[in-house]
Amino acid sequence: MKRSEFELLVTQALTDIPVEFQNLLENVDVVVDDVPSKDQIGGSFLGEEDCLIGLYEGVPLTGRNDYGEVLPDRICIFQPSIESLCSNEDEMTEEIKKIIIQELAHHFGMQDN
């Protein structure tokens, strides 16, 4: 899938988020990348057989005290990883929605169990 088409799926997933949560994302960038960096992989607790499909990088809302002029938090969505897991656009759309919700949960302070 072309990057621009994939980015439209990501944009649609963000648009589908309830407005009250969208309003809390004023300092969060959502980006599409090809491959995670070594640092991103190193901090993600992945097993050898796993692939990184999305990642939240930043300070969760629950962990902010003196949070001033800082770079935006980031949610990275890794297109090739998602494409490797999905066989069509409908599956990709659903997977992107799940990833966005999971990474936003990290932004709001929730942890993986």
Within a domain: 113: no
Q: What is the DSSP string of the chain?
A: --HHHHHHHHHHHHHTS-HHHHTT-TTEEEEEESS--HHHHHTTT--TT----EEEES--GGG-SS--S-PPEEEEEEHHHHHHH-SSHHHHHHHHHHHHHHHHHHHTT----
Which one has a higher pLDDT value, 83 or 56? Answer: 83
Tell me the C-alpha distance between 29 and 45, whole Å: 23
Does the residue 11 lie in any domain?
Answer: yes
pLDDT for residue 69: 66
pTM of the model: 0.82
**Residue 28: domain span:** 3-61+70-107
Count other Cβ atoms within 10 Å, centred on residue 15.
9
Number of domains in the chain: 1
- pLDDT tens for 13-59 read 999 999 988 887 878 899 999 988 777 777 666 655 567 899 988 87
| pLDDT for the residue numbered 43 | 61
Residue 6 has pLDDT above 70, yes or no: yes
Q: Is the residue at 95 inside a domain?
A: yes
Indicate whether 10 belongs to any domain: yes
Percent of the residues in the chain that have a pLDDT greater than 90, as a whole number = 47
Supply the CATH number for residue 82's domain: 3.30.2010.20
| pLDDT score, position 1 | 92
Contact (CB, 8 A) for 82 and 95:
yes
